[in-house]
Chain A
């Protein structure tokens, strides 16, 4: 192999890798560096070693935020996975109406977070919201979705599920289309029931897609931010404040850049471990070479 052959590949890969290293990896490393300092937004830097991390582990608000984040992820990921899988199953047909419904369920994903939260604020708010008006029409009291400590987290979860149906549904649809038709034909010949077909053909074939969906969604929902900030401001009293909102408040509210970045690094490690863990768990029984 000539040197050109051997190293030519770099020419293709390097433009991206350079941009990526400069725009993502370098700031990330800078961030890690800053997290060992007492730093503010305006340039003050003082080396304090691991003190930010020590402080973080003693911080009850940090734990509250972590708890809220995990609760949100637990409310969102399973529900989203199941709903989108069912939708994909129901809409995986070549009819015109199925195409229209697919488009409908995908349409919410194209909106930005500021718009989605604006829309859902005026669905959920007990004063002028759609739900409140409907409840009033049947004589019921409005429900304080955005201010009751037990309701704010579900409210954010519902908004996020509504917003995020598109991508997982598409992934499941693609996964379903990979399943060879012969398997279904064989099952039909054997007069297998719908449920049996589903359990023994469809579900196992969707395994890989399901794993991808769960992994992507977990990583995404652990980093949830906009909905919490704009719907409830993390309230009341921090009961719906996920970790990224806490990081934002430390950075822009208290100007403690070092502490904020330390919390972000802890989040990164968590997301990484969880994602790798999910990947390992899903693939531990896989035959090699697959």
Chain B
């Protein structure tokens, strides 16, 4: 990562700005955490009680012992990993094809793929629901995973990334008589690991946090993903009498994602730099 622009110290207005910004970022998160560590009855009397002891882990205990949470976690994991794997595979293949290979209508096809970026989810989610209903694909893992595979951004991203890799490596391999597939598999794919990590993290994130498709496609609770499951577990009036529990659910559902993010942080930044090169 290239170093800063020769200035070593931030001018103080900028420093103040960053600190204020950071405080605004952290305050809601901290508030949520504190709320989750209080008992529901105390909060019902006054939510400001979150700012003082006593704190309790009861809400978290209730999440883990009650409800189908482990099942939902597993479902989310399966669906997100499946979608991510599928997207990485399909988008890498397509990205290589668009970036490196010549074939008729290549440009047209690329524009066709990019058009998808402008299509709003709402325009397709209901017809897609009908389509899957006709095929009987609902309430199944494939049914939950497949829509995520149509990821035009993924192709765009991988294409840009592959374009930025110098062609000499390809040419050297071709001189050795390697086929296109092995050039892809053995040379370019390993080089694109930062991009894979970024695209992978974003896809995983999008799939993990998806709410509407699993809501209308998973018809029985054994197929609920975490987002749908948590929503279903809330009693009406949960905000009145179960605020602590509600917040604990929010924290709990975010933990896996935060872990994924922390692990892959470096790759994301590196890949962003790589993909921005045109």
Contact = CB atoms under 8 A, between A and B. Distances in A.
Is there any pair of Cβ atoms, one from A and one from B, under 8 angstroms apart in the complex? yes
Contact of B273 (A28, A31, A121, A174): A174
Interface stretch (B26-34, B66-74, B165-173): B26-34
A58 B91 CA distance: 42
B276 A209 contact: yes
B152 A20 contact: yes
A203 interface: no
- Specify the main secondary structure of chain B where it touches its partner: helix
A99 B138 CA distance: 43
A140 interface: no
Interface residues of A, number: 98
B4 A92 contact: yes
Contacts of B155: 16
A8 interface: yes
A120 interface: yes
Nearest to A137: B48
Given A119-B32, A170-B268, A91 B18 contact: yes
Contact of A261 (B7, B48, B126, B272): B126
B144 interface: no
A93 interface: yes
Interface in A236-251: 244, 247-248, 251
Interface string B251-269: 0011001101110010011
Given A31-B124, A110-B254, A90 B14 contact: yes
Contact of A9 (B7, B103, B127, B246): B103
A94 B8 CA distance: 10
B254 A115 contact: yes
Interface string A152-176: 0000000000100100001101111
11 contacts: A19-B150, A83-B21, A103-B262, A105-B22, A111-B257, A122-B35, A130-B28, A174-B275, A202-B5, A225-B122, A264-B122
Interface of A: 1, 5-13, 15-17, 19-20, 23-28, 30-31, 34, 41, 83, 86-87, 89-94, 101-108, 110-115, 118-123, 127-130, 133, 136, 162, 165, 170-171, 173-179, 181, 184-185, 188, 194, 197, 202, 208-209, 219, 223, 225-226, 244, 247-248, 251, 257, 260-261, 264-265, 267-268, 271-272, 275
